[in-house]
Amino acid sequence: MLDLIANSLRRTWLRTVLMIAASTMCFLLFGLLGTVFLSLNKSVTGDDSGRVITVNRINIQQPLPVRYADEIARTEGVADVSLGVWFGGYTEQPGQQFPAFPVRGAPYLALYPEIAVDPAGRARWLDERRGVLVEQRLADEEGWQVGDAVVVNSLIWPQQDGSKAWSFTVSGIYRDDSPFGARTLLMHYDAFNEARRFGTDTVAWLVFDLAPGADVADVARRIDDRYLNSGNATRTQSEEVYQQAYLNQFGNLSQIVMILAAAGFLTSFLVLANAQALTLKERARDYAVLLTLGFRRATLALAAVGETLLTVGIGAVIGLSVAWAYIVWQPIDLGSFLPDIDFHGEVLWAALPILLLLAVLASAAPLASTFRLQIMESLR
């Protein structure tokens, strides 16, 4: 059986190479897109922090009055409350932004225990009004060290003198391995609020924890009902739902990824099926001879499937290996405000049934033809 498959592949070596190349491209695309899909999905479904977000009901770009923070803090069922503002930070090129947020320091750190900062850096930041906390990967990219004086430009906020170049001191460097935590800079809201030219006393969102036993739906309803008829109605939801809404701003990325992957597999299937059909047509006489010599039709059918499975398998190994190497050595960057993309082992497990299905479907027509093969007509 193996000799039969090997001889068949060597006989049409150029077609074999093209089939392997087609399956390689297919599984390379699957490896990259599958990784993006899983990373986006895990960034949302993996969140179990229990945090709740309040934003403007119109959309998350519209501000809310900062006084809402104190009012929500007095709501039954609410624990720690902090806030945030989009800063639009960059150092040199506006197109190379990183997440920078003015926040209320102490409650923000209490709400986000995944922010791993040493006690000295924490105390120093809370004490320095113009201090910033910088995530480790951003500090490494920019070459920043604790105590450095740095300038961060804002795409959005000018200072009172009209300058968008803000001066800070690096108070501490922290590590955050959560999906949205990489390359982030935190500054003090009060200092930012006093220095900006417009938008004073407004925030982009409020974030809080629930008290033990509180129900998120009940707390969210009471908060939103309170501001329903105000000029700044709110939408309160779990952080997981908020992150999904945030990702939806960029379009349905998961659906786009699935469509592209399906298109890749359809193209690969058509190439493989066409190649197998041509192969069977060329080998009809050879198959007739083998049947005359006593080979069973089932054996020839298995050889056809095995040939396809081997070529697709080789292409899958090459394609997934290249995808893994690319993601590890040259990480995919979807932009500073989207989660990091990491290679997931689930992609490999998902590729196995797809590999088998692709091989069987591409061999379906040759299989049917093999069982219908007429020996006398093929020998003419």
Backbone angles phi, psi at 208, to 5 degrees: -150, 160
**Count of domains observed in the chain:** 2
Same domain, 20 and 134: no
By DSSP bridging, strand 52-56 and strand 205-210 are antiparallel
The percentage of residues in the chain with a pLDDT greater than 70, rounded to a whole number, is 74
Closest CA to 344 of 6, 104, 33: 33
In a domain, 153, yes or no: yes
Domain end residue (candidates: 199, 231, 263): 231
Please give the residue range of the domain that contains residue 206: 63-231
Q: Which residues contact 116 (CB under 8 A, 6 or more apart)?
A: 174, 175, 176
Does one domain contain both 192 and 337? no
pTM: 0.67
Q: Same domain, yes or no, for 204 and 267?
A: no
End-of-domain residue from the set 196, 231, 266? 231
Instruction: Single out the residue in 231, 263, 290 at which a domain terminates.
Output: 231
Q: What phi, psi does 339 have (nearest 5°)?
A: -65, 155
pLDDT digit string, tens, across residues 215-244: 999 999 999 999 999 989 999 998 877 776
**310 assigned to some structural domain:** yes
127 located within any domain: yes
Q: Indicate whether 212 and 130 sit together in one domain.
A: yes
78 closest CA partner among 219, 259, 283: 219
β-pair type (100-103, 64-65): unpaired
CA 223 to chain centre: 32
Where do the H-state alpha helices sit in 67-116? 67-73, 105-111
Q: For the CA atoms of the chain, what is the radius of gyration?
A: 29
Q: Which two tokens stand for residue 120?
A: 């000295």
The answer to whether position 53 is within a domain reads no
| Digit-coded pLDDT (tens) for 120-151 | 999 999 999 999 999 999 999 999 999 999 99
The two three-digit tokens of residue 174, written as one number: 């922290």
pLDDT at 105: 92
Q: Is position 238 within any domain?
A: no
* pLDDT of the residue at 93: 83
80 located within any domain: yes
Asked whether residue 356 is domain-assigned, the answer is yes
* Residue 12 CB burial class (10 angstroms; 0-12, 13-18, ≥19): middle
Q: Which of 72-76, 100-104, 269-273, 294-298 is predicted with the least confidence, judged by mean pLDDT?
A: 294-298
Q: Is 237 within the bounds of a domain?
A: no
Stretch 195-222: mean pLDDT, rounded? 94
Residue where the block lists tokens 């986000």: 112
225 and 276 belong to one structural domain: no
CA angle (111 as vertex; 107, 116 as ends), nearest 5? 100
84 in the same domain as 28:
no
Closest to 309 in 3D by CA, of 289, 301, 324 = 301
Q: What is the DSSP letter of 292?
A: H
Contact residues for 211 (Cβ-Cβ < 8 A; gap 6+)? 76, 77, 78, 79
